[in-house]
Amino acid sequence: MTTTPEPTCVFVSHSSKNDDIITRLHNELEEKTGADIWVDHIDIDADHLWEDEVESNLRSRPYCLVCISKQSVASKEVRSEWRGAITYGHKLLLAVIDDIKTEDIPPRLLLHQMIWLTDGKWDDGIANLVKAIQKGTESPHADEPRFSRITTITGTIPRNLTRIAMQGRESDLADVRAGLEKGDITAIIGVGGLGKSRLAAEVVGNSDARGIVWHRIRDITSAENVVTLLRKNLDLPPITECDDAIKQFGEQQRLLVLDNGEDAKSDRLTEYAKLADEINRAGAQVLITSRVMWDELDMATEVHPETLTLEAAAKVVAEMATAYNVSVPEIEHEAIATEARQHPWLIEWAIKQMKRLPVQRVLALLQTPDAKRIQEAVYQVIGKTVEQMSEESTNAAELLSWVTVFRGGFTYDTAEFVCQSSEIEDFETALETLQKYAFVSFDATTQRYSVDSFVLEVIETNMNAHKPHYDYYYAKAREHKNSNDHMTYAKLDVESDNLEAAFEWALAIDDGDSALRLMNECNGFMINRGRFQIIIEWATKVTMKLKERNDNLRLLAASQNTLAQAYRRYPQGSQVRNLQKAILIFQEALLIRTVETSPR
């Protein structure tokens, strides 16, 4: 008894703008090959969910025919599909259906063979496609186009990492690839939700390595699981010795990705680090993503992704809305990106919420950090890592609540001064631990530390840190007060955000006296740097505060004098109007300037 072989199952990835030509292609190929050629607009029933059907068929069909056109290379959906096919380990073949230029085709796709179905080449192209489908990868002639798999990928890359295109990480991607090409163990380090794994998936999607192993570290995994994946990637028997598998993996210059490195702890971390080092020494590339630096490894290349720009974050909103099939008005993209702190994980969280809640409600949740729903999201991004760090160092956790007082960065000496009254026993070790967990980074060029911007948003500052912070920057401003040297004032530029933070704290907690004193110490610096608008804003706030107090006319007159002088010097807008404002404020100040109240 003979059995009929199962038909070859082909997924066709194309732009909906090319539906007419794709329908023709589908009909001819099914008629001439008997294969099961799946095309979305033909094969999805009206009562089925489009997104689910596309994903299901992309996953289950081992052959992917990518139809290349000017429209398809610009399509986010098509890009997601062929990237997904690669990560699923499927075989690809390209069919060019218009006069697109080769240089406009994504470089990763150019690694695969192409068949032209353009004007005058349709019949020959169809004949070649028929052969490719009938033969699969068994074409007897090397010059005949065929479906191919450039890279063997072992391990499961989460689909959400490839469905959503990377945005705003081009520089980080270049740094990662440069580190790998140098032969360094390369680590993508950062707080939760920055897109470290997505960046690693982008590396995989653009890699021409013969083999790639993707291993996600969890509490239940071990280094031995990686060795098992190496054997599978190399198609070696399960009994192959570990050293032999590592040697062959390295000799063929394959790529190992260890994702979620923060979950490797204690002895398991030592084992993972030892294995990563051995694989790298054998000649393979090793890429690690982690919220925590691995002290056990000398990572020659570390890439620390920063907060996305607003423009890139708005594009992430659009990409995620498409991926999750959520309708989000384009006019709201920037608002969502802003309220989500331009943080990829929070953006994704917000888009998921919009499946059940109105856009404005989700925006309101993002604006309310203490709401239970948003707190749960923040815990996943930051809280879990703080807990892990606290197990290693209570000093580091305490220091984190002190250094969040800084804005615009800080120096070692400044932080040490501010933290003098804290209960931190080993300041230097605690600061190093904060860097290990990516809460704080150090710039060797400027010799300054900075706290991750999202961490600044969600970690509550120890109230005892504000007074020494104010005292330090008041003294710093006073030191520069009487200098007319442009270069001397320029040195204070880097502390502008800290001066602003100290001023706002003083204004909030006292009656205006401390804020006025700091403002007066900063006056010369602000004028020298052309920051008249800031002086006007500060003086206006202090004046309003002192008017509310209404019991210290001397301070009020001094504040009004500063405000009037700022308007007198203000170079923008109408000089006549600025002088008129200055005169009115001077006149108001004169009404209360007596021998007793006049500022000395």
| Residues 35 and 29: beta-carbon distance below 8 Å | yes
Tokens of 332: 């709201």
| Residues 353 and 377: beta-carbon distance below 8 Å | no
Beta-carbon neighbour count of residue 397 at 10 Å? 21
| Residues 260 and 244: beta-carbon distance below 8 Å | no
Residue 483 confidence (pLDDT) above 70: no
Positive or negative, the CA dihedral 422, 424, 428, 434 is: negative
pLDDT interval class at 138 (50, 70, 90): low
Give the model's pLDDT for residue 143. 60
Tell me the angle at which helices 496-509 and 513-528 cross, rounded to the nearest 10 degrees.
Answer: 160
DSSP H helices in 61-115: 76-87
Average pLDDT over residues 478-491: 70
Average pLDDT over residues 373-384: 84
Give how far the C-alpha of residue 154 lies from the chain's centroid of Cα atoms, to the nearest Å: 25
> In terms of pLDDT, which residue wins out, 311 or 1?
311
Give the model's pLDDT for residue 50. 83
DSSP readout, 501-554? HHHHHHHHHSSSHHHHHHHHHHHHHHHHTT-HHHHHHHHHHHHHHHHHH-S-HH
Average pLDDT over residues 137-144: 52
DSSP readout, 561-588? HHHHHHHHH--SS-HHHHHHHHHHHHHH
> In terms of pLDDT, which residue wins out, 593 or 584?
584
591 by DSSP, 3-state: which? coil
Comparing C-alpha atoms, which of 277, 220, 210 is closest to residue 249?
210
CATH topology of 154-303 equal to that of 393-461?
no
CATH number of 481-590, picked from 1.20.1050, 1.10.10, 2.60.40, 1.25.40: 1.25.40
Q: What dotted CATH number matches 154-303?
A: 3.40.50.300
Q: What is the reported pTM? A: 0.80
Query: For 424-449, how does the pLDDT look when each residue is reduced to its tens digit (9 = 90+)?
Result: 989 999 999 999 999 999 999 999 99
Residues facing 419 on adjacent strands: none
Record: fold of 393-461: Arc Repressor Mutant, subunit A (1.10.10)
Give the residue extent of every domain in the chain.
Answer: 9-149, 154-303, 318-379, 393-461, 481-590
Query: For 62-107, how does the pLDDT look when each residue is reduced to its tens digit (9 = 90+)?
Result: 999 999 999 999 998 898 899 889 888 899 989 999 999 988 998 8
Provide the residue count of the chain: 600
| Residues 424 and 395: beta-carbon distance below 8 Å | yes
DSSP readout, 369-399? TTSHHHHHHHIIIIIHHHHHHHHH-HHHHHH
Q: Which of 50-59, 355-364, 412-421 has the lowest mean pLDDT?
A: 50-59
Residues facing 148 on adjacent strands: 92
Query: For 322-362, how does the pLDDT look when each residue is reduced to its tens digit (9 = 90+)?
Result: 888 898 999 999 999 999 988 898 999 999 999 999 999 99
**CA separation for the pair 115, 37 (Å, rounded):** 17
> In terms of pLDDT, which residue wins out, 596 or 397?
397
Tokens of 480: 């520069």
Instruction: Please state, rounded to an integer, the average pLDDT across all residues of the chain.
Output: 88
> In terms of pLDDT, which residue wins out, 150 or 243?
243
Positive or negative, the CA dihedral 229, 233, 238, 240 is: negative
CA dist list (Å): 298 to 280, 465, 563: 12, 35, 55
Comparing C-alpha atoms, which of 143, 134, 136, 80 is closest to residue 106?
80
Classify the phi-psi angles of 183: left when phi > 0, otherwise alpha if psi is within -120 to 50, otherwise beta: left
Tokens of 135: 């033969």
The helix (run of H) or strand (run of E) holding residue 285 is: strand 285-290
Give the model's pLDDT for residue 432. 94
Record: fold of 9-149: Rossmann fold (3.40.50)
Q: Which of 365-379, 380-394, 538-552 has the highest mean pLDDT?
A: 380-394
**CA separation for the pair 84, 150 (Å, rounded):** 14
**CA separation for the pair 173, 201 (Å, rounded):** 10
Give the model's pLDDT for residue 333. 95
Average pLDDT over residues 5-19: 87
CA dist list (Å): 407 to 186, 202, 466, 520: 30, 32, 12, 21
Give the model's pLDDT for residue 4. 45
Give the model's pLDDT for residue 140. 47
